């Protein structure tokens, strides 16, 4: 429609046309962003050297032409494979020359001066065997037990302790099943098929039942972890959805939530997964009860609701969420190249963080140096956001991204006062990912009890990995040792951060 025609229209009609044009623009932005996410690269990284400068030559930046462009140093990788771990056992196979060839033409014996070693990987498929626990039974043929009234007629050694008495389960089998499910995302129904190929009749119902029973035996360990995670200076929190069948008053198709937390003292950090029927903020209140320190999260309003009047907790925002929103806004508006300005400003903050963490400093020194170097960068980013906010339409993608970032600003900068925290909550998001990957395969939990046991073993396995343990080895060691405890004995020494690492590592030898 031409400007002349527009001038002839009533003001109400012009306003309506403008609103429709804005709506079309927003929908086009949404479509462009969805296409980019589906078909394009998912990385928010800046292009490397040649690509970066070509882009800026073809599309000159209209805003802030003096902005310094930082590029990552590109190093060409040397050809060759990575070395094979020294921890793997070796089997030497000697390929020697014949005795005849060991004699020189001059008549003397050849002497070995060196050797050429080539390493190749050999794999033996899982080896399955049946443990036969044999307990001889004794009786007296002469008196048939009447000569010793203090002892039973028949004498037999006590049964070997078992995590689940009466079942065929062993520590190794249960550790294998749980590692397959949680580390390798193999649902029980797929494992059932694998066991069939070994000629072993283990159903998915068996595996589910064993998991729940093992969780109940180890529930005290879960309580120890819940207490331990609050003894550190920080918590990082996130959540994801999971469908749980059999919940009272809820459809099986509705979502429940898995809340994920990462924290604990330096050197013994842990990961904790907890099942909850909803995303209600009361969970956050209950979970952080008794904790004092920093809590880092995304922009979910439930955190603000709980922490705004809590003097014991300093709420920390996530710079990565802000960066993602800003980058997506530029992608949606066909101005991806212009995102380099703000992404560059944010990248400078991360570069300083990386350099400082490479130095050996005390927490106090680290915080002081970080403040000195990062505060000017944050002020520069804030000025850019304030300037942008003046001229942007609030309903646009970029307008919403800038508004979100400014709304989170006071929380984002709080990370400066905690040496353990980085500018973002990515550490929590990384430990959410295993649950998300698993969920894509097993789709749902069959019962609330199943969801609770699943969360427990996710917590145990991810904490073991965080403390440098092999998940299978730790689980097998844990199952073997927990049955040896006397009634009421503490499980503190069985936790991933307190366990006997030498004994755990022996299991894989």
pLDDT of the residue at 233: 95
d(CA 124, CA 115): 27
User: What does the mean pLDDT of the chain come to?
Assistant: 86
Mean pLDDT of 426-431: 94
Per-residue pLDDT tens over the stretch 62-90? 444 444 444 444 455 566 678 888 878 89
Bridge partners of 239, per DSSP, are 259
pLDDT of the residue at 5: 62
Per-residue pLDDT tens over the stretch 221-244? 999 999 999 999 999 999 999 999
In the 3-class helix/strand/coil scheme, how is 24-44 assigned residue by residue? HHHHHHHHHHHHHHHHCCCCC
Q: Based on the fold, state whether residues 380 and 296 are members of the same structural domain.
A: no
pLDDT of the residue at 7: 63
Q: Based on the fold, state whether residues 355 and 411 are members of the same structural domain.
A: yes
What's the domain count of the chain?
2
* Residues whose CB is less than 8 angstroms from the CB of residue 340 and which lie 6 or more positions away in sequence, other chains included: 46, 52, 56, 61, 69
Judge contact between 318 and 412, C-beta under 8 A: yes
Task: List the helix and strand counts (H, then E) for the chain.
Answer: 17, 8
pLDDT of the residue at 56: 33
Q: Based on the fold, state whether residues 301 and 439 are members of the same structural domain.
A: yes
- Structural domain contains residue 447: yes
- Structural domain contains residue 248: yes
Give the strand pairing for 293-296 and 234-244: parallel
Please say if the pLDDT value at position 42 is more than 80.
Answer: no
Q: Based on the fold, state whether residues 297 and 287 are members of the same structural domain.
A: yes
pLDDT of the residue at 73: 44
Please say if the pLDDT value at position 108 is more than 60.
Answer: yes
Q: Please give the span between the terminal C-alpha atoms of the chain, in angstroms, as a whole number.
A: 78
Q: Based on the fold, state whether residues 330 and 419 are members of the same structural domain.
A: yes
pLDDT greater at residue 198 or residue 60? 198
Short-list 226, 216, 427, CA closest to 316 = 427
Mean pLDDT of 443-472: 95
- Structural domain contains residue 400: yes
- Structural domain contains residue 99: no
Please say if the pLDDT value at position 51 is more than 50.
Answer: no
pLDDT category at 289 given cuts 50, 70, 90 is very high
Mean pLDDT of 463-486: 96
Mean pLDDT of 179-203: 94
Q: Count Cα neighbours of 20 within 13 Å in the Cβ-side half-sphere.
A: 6
Per-residue pLDDT tens over the stretch 129-149? 899 999 999 988 887 767 666
Q: Based on the fold, state whether residues 286 and 297 are members of the same structural domain.
A: yes
pTM (2 d.p.): 0.81
Q: Based on the fold, state whether residues 334 and 250 are members of the same structural domain.
A: no
455: which 2 tokens?
């969360």
Please say if the pLDDT value at position 335 is more than 80.
Answer: no
Q: Tell me the CA distances in angstroms from 505 to 147, 163, 468, 470, one per residue in order.
A: 51, 21, 10, 8
Q: Based on the fold, state whether residues 414 and 339 are members of the same structural domain.
A: yes
Per-residue pLDDT tens over the stretch 14-34? 777 777 777 777 777 667 667
pLDDT category at 124 given cuts 50, 70, 90 is confident
Number of other CB atoms surrounding residue 351 within 10 Å: 14
Q: Based on the fold, state whether residues 268 and 252 are members of the same structural domain.
A: yes
- Structural domain contains residue 481: no
Mean pLDDT of 405-423: 95
Q: Which domain holds residue 249?
A: 229-317+429-451
- Structural domain contains residue 224: no
Please say if the pLDDT value at position 2 is more than 70.
Answer: no
d(CA 49, CA 53): 6
- What is the CATH number for 437? 3.30.420.10
Q: Based on the fold, state whether residues 349 and 361 are members of the same structural domain.
A: yes
- Structural domain contains residue 23: no
pLDDT category at 484 given cuts 50, 70, 90 is very high
68: which 2 tokens?
């310094």
Please say if the pLDDT value at position 217 is more than 70.
Answer: yes
Per-residue pLDDT tens over the stretch 260-269? 999 999 999 9
Q: Based on the fold, state whether residues 303 and 356 are members of the same structural domain.
A: no
pLDDT of the residue at 55: 33
- Structural domain contains residue 443: yes
pLDDT category at 440 given cuts 50, 70, 90 is very high
Q: Tell me the CA distances in angstroms from 110 to 93, 100, 102, 116, one per residue in order.
A: 21, 10, 5, 16
pLDDT greater at residue 458 or residue 392? 458
Q: Based on the fold, state whether residues 260 and 404 are members of the same structural domain.
A: no
Judge contact between 435 and 273, C-beta under 8 A: yes
Dihedral angle computed from the Cα positions of residues 200, 205, 211 and 217, in that order, rounded to the nearest 10 degrees:
-100
């Amino acid at each position: 429609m031409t400007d002349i025609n527009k001038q002839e229209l009533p003001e109400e009609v012009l306003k309506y046309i403008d609103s429709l044009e804005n709506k079309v623009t927003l929908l086009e932005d949404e479509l462009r962003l969805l296409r980019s996410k589906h078909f394009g690269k998912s990385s928010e990284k800046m292009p490397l050297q040649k690509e970066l400068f070509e882009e800026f030559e073809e599309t000159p930046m209209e805003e802030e032409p003096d902005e310094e462009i930082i590029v990552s140093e590109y190093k060409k990788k040397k050809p060759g494979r990575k070395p094979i771990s020294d921890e793997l056992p070796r089997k030497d196979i000697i390929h020697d020359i014949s005795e005849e060839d060991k004699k020189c033409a001059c008549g003397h014996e050849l002497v070995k001066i060196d050797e050429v070693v080539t390493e190749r990987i050999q794999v033996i498929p899982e080896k399955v065997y049946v443990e036969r626990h044999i307990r001889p039974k004794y009786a007296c043929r002469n008196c048939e037990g009447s000569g010793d009234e203090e002892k039973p007629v028949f004498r037999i050694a006590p049964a070997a302790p078992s995590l689940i008495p009466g079942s065929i389960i062993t520590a190794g089998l249960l550790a294998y099943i749980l590692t397959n499910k949680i580390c390798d995302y193999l649902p029980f129904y797929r494992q059932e098929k694998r066991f069939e190929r070994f000629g072993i009749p283990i159903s998915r119902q068996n595996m589910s039942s064993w998991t729940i029973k093992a969780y109940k035996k180890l529930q005290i360990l879960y309580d120890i972890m819940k207490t331990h995670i609050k003894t550190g200076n920080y918590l990082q929190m996130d959540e994801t959805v999971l469908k749980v069948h059999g919940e009272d008053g809820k459809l099986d198709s509705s979502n429940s939530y898995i809340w994920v937390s990462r924290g604990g003292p330096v050197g013994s950090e842990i990961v904790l997964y907890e099942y909850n029927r909803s995303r209600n903020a009361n969970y956050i209140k209950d979970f952080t009860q008794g904790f004092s320190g920093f809590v880092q999260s995304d922009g979910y309003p439930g955190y603000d609701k709980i922490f705004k009047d809590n003097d014991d907790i300093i709420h920390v925002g996530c710079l990565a969420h802000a960066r993602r929103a800003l980058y997506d806004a530029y992608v949606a508006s066909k101005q991806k190249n212009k995102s380099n300005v703000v992404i560059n400003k944010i990248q400078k903050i991360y570069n300083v963080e990386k350099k400082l963490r490479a130095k050996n400093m005390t927490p106090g020194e680290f915080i002081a140096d970080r403040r000195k170097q990062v505060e000017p960068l944050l002020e520069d980013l804030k000025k850019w956001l304030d300037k942008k906010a003046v001229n942007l339409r609030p309903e646009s993608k970029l307008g919403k991204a800038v508004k979100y970032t400014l709304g989170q600003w006071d929380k984002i900068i709080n990370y400066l006062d905690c040496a353990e925290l980085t500018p973002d909550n990515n550490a929590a998001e990384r430990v959410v990912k295993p649950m998300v990957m698993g969920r894509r395969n097993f789709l749902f939990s069959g019962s609330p009890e199943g969801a609770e046991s699943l969360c427990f073993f996710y917590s145990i396995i991810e904490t073991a990995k965080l403390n440098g343990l092999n998940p299978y080895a730790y689980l097998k060691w844990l199952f073997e040792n927990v049955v040896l405890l006397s009634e009421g004995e503490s499980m503190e020494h069985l936790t991933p951060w307190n366990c006997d690492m030498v004994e755990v590592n022996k299991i894989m030898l």
